[in-house]
Amino acid sequence: MVPAVVVVWDKRMEISNKKNLANIFSDIIEFDVPLSKLSQWKVGGVADVIIRPTSKAELIAVQQWLHANQLPSLIIGNTTNLLFSDEGLHTAVIQMASNFSNVKIEDAKIIAESGVWVPSLATMAMRANLSGLEHTCGIPGTLGGLIVMNGGSQRQSIGRVVSYVETVDYEGHIHHYSNEECRFAYRHSIFQHRKEVIIEVGLVLDKETDKSDIQKKMIEILSARRKKFPRKQPSCGSVFVSNPDMYDSYGPPGQIIESLGFKGMCRGDAQVSHRHTNFIVNNGQATSEDILFLINIIKKSVYNKTGYQMAVEAKLITPYGEIKSI
């Protein structure tokens, strides 16, 4: 996700700000939203304001208004890798999800808005005989979030097929980044350090004569995920990033965590999954604090055992919209 513009939400201005926002952006705004309804982990307090633009023009107008009024903002997608505070969010939240998800396919090129659901995009590519997104077919998130994290699976990354990324900054200016300018590295991109909203992504894939091989590979990936990953309980997906060096010496994060006896460990209603120990699931009423407790005790134990400090895929969102590594 994109680092938030951190400006303290002045409580004396809160009522008038809400009225102004409601008047200007009435069709795309919602107030006092329980974050547990948005969060993939089903945790978090109440968000003061959620804005869901449906076009580039609306997004630019929102950014310009927030900037002119010096109000804080936070950009989210489908919240797959976000852990919201139990205290809620006292900042304007701009959500780029299904409201911002148009896709165009021309030959081997795809132009997609950032809110498109990644598995849906992979399916569209397959139906157009385009190869290169198969590894993303089971990743539960939006394209914008995938770009920010340079995400992927099967030890692959989305950055390999990106031709350009278009963003809007906090003042409403549009920026265009080539693949090289995105500075893609393993689970990293320049957008982790930019106060900009990803709005559009250009992809260049491989054109195949027959989609059957693409489809077969996607079915294999999805089948493997269904067998080993918990699907019924809320989670953020994989909690810890797979470190290639640690992988070579000790195996993937889940294997190490299980070897240390954490499978099934609970704190409140948060639990290290019995099905895959790199997942922390919510059994009903888990809190952000419960999840953080499990993450931190696992990190400490793995470091003591291996000497490797495991990075956490999820980011902690503070009540005023700061994005912090866990």
DSSP string, 132-176: S-GGGTT--SBHHHHHHHT--STT--GGGGEEEEEEEETTS-EEE
50 phi and psi, to 5 degrees? -120, 125
Candidate list 157, 238, 273, 288, residue with the active-site label: 238
Is 131 an annotated catalytic residue? Answer: no
Are 293 and 284 in contact by the 8 Å Cβ rule? The answer is no
Which residue among the candidates 187, 189, 200, 235 is catalytic per the annotation? 187
For tokens 């700000």, name the residue. 17
H helix intervals, the chain: 14-24, 56-68, 118-127, 143-149, 212-228, 244-250, 253-259, 288-306
Active site residue 181: no
Is position 87 annotated as part of the catalytic site? no
- From 63, 71, 70, 77, select the one nearest 25 (Cα to Cα): 63
How buried is residue 252: exposed, middle or buried, by Cβ count under 10 Å (0-12/13-18/19+)? middle
**Which residues are designated catalytic?**
187, 238, 313
